[in-house]
Amino acid sequence: MAWLDDAGRRRVAEAVTAAESRTSGEIVTVLTDRSDGYTDVALLWATGAAFTAMSVFAAFPLPFLEAWDALLGGWGHQWTAGELASMVIALGLVTFLAVMLVQQWEPLKFFLIPGPTKTIRVHNQAVRQFKVGAERRTTGRTGVLIYLSMREHRAEIVADESIAALVPAEVWGEAMADMLAEIRKGRIAEGLAAGIRDVGFVLAEHFPRGSEDVNELPDRLIEV
């Protein structure tokens, strides 16, 4: 899914160019729809629901059996152990498939993902993107990655080692706050531009631009 149009992409690229005009640091921006498929989380919900349904059947079998008898015309039936076991397994399988199916509706799927799980996976993916796109790819190791994951409603700022040695992680809080304030209004390009501006201010303070600095990383927005 494309979250930005061409005008929005230009806005982000221009913000990077403007921010880098004052610093030897390099800013890389990454926008992604999601940071993980979360198939394992969906499987856990489906498995848990299936075992819950089977446990409820085992603890209170009579309502289930009466309902089944009613479907058969109301005639009572003497259930064998094998038939009961088959019913339990079938109930578990149907519940598992039903829960997997309803999680195909993405608003529900992402609602069911625990917040800490989203946070960890967004962070891990941001670090992976940083290692690929920015880490140690500049002469002074002054790359910064701004990573925005839309489905999880989370963002990360990851800095190369030269920057991390001078700038505590808490310093990026203002950039994060300004960025998310705009994004919450649906202004994604403006939010990224605000974060880029603030990161640029921090970089300019610690890594001012020199006369021989060159642009080592692309200014364009990376969409994955």
pLDDT computed for residue 148 by the predictor: 97
**Average pLDDT value for the chain:** 89
pLDDT at 63 over 70: yes
Pick from 26, 27, 24: nearest CA to 193: 27
Are 74 and 164 in the same domain? no
> Is 178 within the bounds of a domain?
yes
120-171 confidence digits (pLDDT tens): 999 999 999 988 876 666 666 788 999 999 999 999 999 888 888 888 888 8
What is the SS3 assignment for 106-142? HHHHHHCCCHHHHHHHHHHHHHHHHHHHCCCCCCCCC
Bridge partners (DSSP) of residue 208 are 23
pLDDT computed for residue 143 by the predictor: 84
30-49 confidence digits (pLDDT tens): 999 999 999 999 999 999 99
Are 121 and 157 in the same domain? yes
Tokens representing 221? Answer: 């927005």
pLDDT computed for residue 65 by the predictor: 76
Are 62 and 98 in the same domain? yes
Are 64 and 132 in the same domain? no
By the 8 A CB rule, do 178 and 195 touch? yes
Are 118 and 98 in the same domain? no
CATH assignment of the domain containing 23:
3.10.310.50
pLDDT computed for residue 72 by the predictor: 61
Q: Average of pLDDT values for 182-189?
A: 95
Rounded Cα gap, residues 148 and 34, in angstroms: 9
pLDDT computed for residue 77 by the predictor: 65
> Is 23 within the bounds of a domain?
yes
69-105 confidence digits (pLDDT tens): 676 665 656 777 777 788 889 889 999 999 999 999 9
